[in-house]
Structure 1
Amino acid sequence: MAVSSGTRPWHTANLVALDLEGSGAQERDDEQILEIAAIRLIDGRPDLPTAYTTCIDPGRAIPARPWISPGLAGLALQGEPTLDDVRGDLIARLSGVWLVGHNIGVDWRLLHRHLPTLTVAGLIDTRRLAKAAAVAGKLGLSNLLTHLDLTGDVAAAAPGSRPHRALWDTTAAALLLGALIRRHFTAEPTLQQLVDVAGIPTETAAAARAAIAAPPQQSLFD
């Protein structure tokens, strides 16, 4: 008998943590993706061996501004794959999944602007979940990792990366999700209960509702 949308545990859903580093929202429609990372969650834990991360050559120099992540300014990305080089792979990996991230709506808007054919099941925001869980202090990623004693876990899981780079922030969001769920819920939540607390709307809301009831799909992470 199929598991209904109201009883399926959250960790059985097709969840993929995601982070993008961009050239800055001040560029509006000209903002470029500079780096992207995606990590599938299996049983609620990040599956690091299948993690995907790549820098992306924007085709121009990136001014060194305070919000540009370290190592991505100037011509540092020259010679990296272009977005066209990885477009098909990204769509194959991310189609139909639940995207998890810190302020994931910001990442989604930039990603969907460049990959308009990509359709996801929905978005789960760890910042929104942290607010619901009443974590003390600011709700920035670094503060939450410190408060929940997760910084060392992220460093161990993403060696060679650093804060404000895609792999680090993606790993952080993946680990943060489980920690916040344990903090906020008194019992293991269903996917629907998690979405009710931490979900944010997209134009694919109808697909998200259908995805809650559908069995997890295979992806390129399998």
Structure 2
Amino acid sequence: MDFGAWPRLLVIDVESNGANPPDLVEVAAIPIVAGRPVPQSARSTLVRPPQPISAFATRVHHITNRAVADAPRWESIASAVHAHLHGAWIAAHNAHVDYKVLRRHLPAWQPAGVIDTLRLARATYPDAPGYNLDVLLAYAAVPLTGISGQRHRAGFDAHAAALFLLDLAGHYPTWKTLTAAAVPPGLLGGTALDHEERTLW
């Protein structure tokens, strides 16, 4: 794999308040440059949602309402997040979820393309015992010792997904073959959007 041929790519993760539709409580993005995640250039922030974080959501990501009490509201950081994501490919595990939440919060934003490590894992590891990120990280023996933070926080999960993406990339000779397996149907970077997708937002 020629990592020098990769476009600008940010591996992202979002955490929500558990509402329907969900409001962001944390967002993180870590770049991959020359075949490596660059944690020094990662960006992550808590967000104070308009509605309280549900008890169920807190049990998953351990972010409490008290933790976000002094965090910025989305409106105050949306333009900065948009500028940071502008022009980049994004990658995430089960990426359509993160993409949909971000698109709802940033209606004018479109990534250059979307890579789904879940979709890519199904193509790469058909015999994996499961496709939860924890199961896949263990199955592929991806080392996580250098990641700061904890699982189910946006910064940790983005970094872990970045390492897993690089593990998966080792099975593909080119960026083109990787994206052919990794881009979900109807999302940018893959097949053309159909009419339903074009009018979703």
Q: Which category describes the TM-score, using the shorter chain as reference length?
A: 0.7 to 0.9
- Runs of 4+ deviating beyond 6 Å: none
CA distance in 1, matches of 2:131, 2:94: 10
Q: Corresponding residue for 1:155?
A: 145
Shift of 1:100: 0.7
Q: Corresponding residue for 1:131?
A: 122
CA distance in 2, matches of 1:8, 1:70: 35
Task: Tell me the amino acid that sits aligned with residue 16 of structure 2.
Answer: G
Q: Corresponding residue for 2:197?
A: none
Shift of 1:16: 0.5
Structure-to-structure mapping, 1:28-39, within 5 angstroms? 28-29=20-21, 31-39=22-30
Task: Tell me the amino acid that sits aligned with residue 167 of structure 1.
Answer: G
Q: Corresponding residue for 2:44?
A: 53
TM-score (norm 1): 0.78
Name stretches of at least 5 consecutive residues in structure 2 with no aligned partner: 191-201
SS where residue 78 of structure 1 aligns? coil
CA distance in 2, matches of 1:37, 1:66: 17
Shift of 1:44: 2.1
CA distance in 2, matches of 1:202, 1:28: 23
TM-score (norm 2): 0.85
Task: Tell me the amino acid that sits aligned with residue 91 of structure 1.
Answer: H
1:44 lines up with 2:28 in the alignment: no
SS where residue 26 of structure 2 aligns? strand
Over 3 Å counting, the alpha-carbon distance change for 1:202 and 1:75 in structure 2 is farther
Structure-to-structure mapping, 1:176-187, within 5 angstroms? 176-182=164-170, 184-185=171-172
Give the percent of matched residue pairs that are identical in Structure 1 and Structure 2.
Answer: 31
1:167 lines up with 2:167 in the alignment: no
Q: Corresponding residue for 1:200?
A: 184
Task: Tell me the amino acid that sits aligned with residue 140 of structure 1.
Answer: N
Over 3 Å counting, the alpha-carbon distance change for 1:88 and 1:64 in structure 2 is same
Task: Tell me the amino acid that sits aligned with residue 49 of structure 2.
Answer: P
Structure-to-structure mapping, 1:113-128, within 5 angstroms? 113-128=104-119
1:13 lines up with 2:7 in the alignment: yes
Q: Is the 8 A contact 2:15 2:153 kept in 1?
A: yes
Identify the range of structure 1 (79-88 vs 106-115) with the bigger mean alpha-carbon deviation.
Answer: 79-88
Per-residue Cα deviation, 1:138-161 (whole angstroms, up to 9, x for no partner):
1111111111222xx3331x22x1
- Higher relative CO (Cα under 8 Å, sequence separation at least 6) belongs to 1
CA distance in 1, matches of 2:145, 2:60: 17
SS where residue 28 of structure 1 aligns? coil
Structure-to-structure mapping, 1:100-111, within 5 angstroms? 100-111=91-102
Per-residue Cα deviation, 1:64-109 (whole angstroms, up to 9, x for no partner):
1167533313333111011112111111110121101101110000
Cα RMSD (Å) of the superposition? 2.1
Task: Tell me the amino acid that sits aligned with residue 23 of structure 1.
Answer: N
CA distance in 2, matches of 1:202, 1:85: 31
1:146 lines up with 2:138 in the alignment: yes
Q: Corresponding residue for 1:214?
A: none
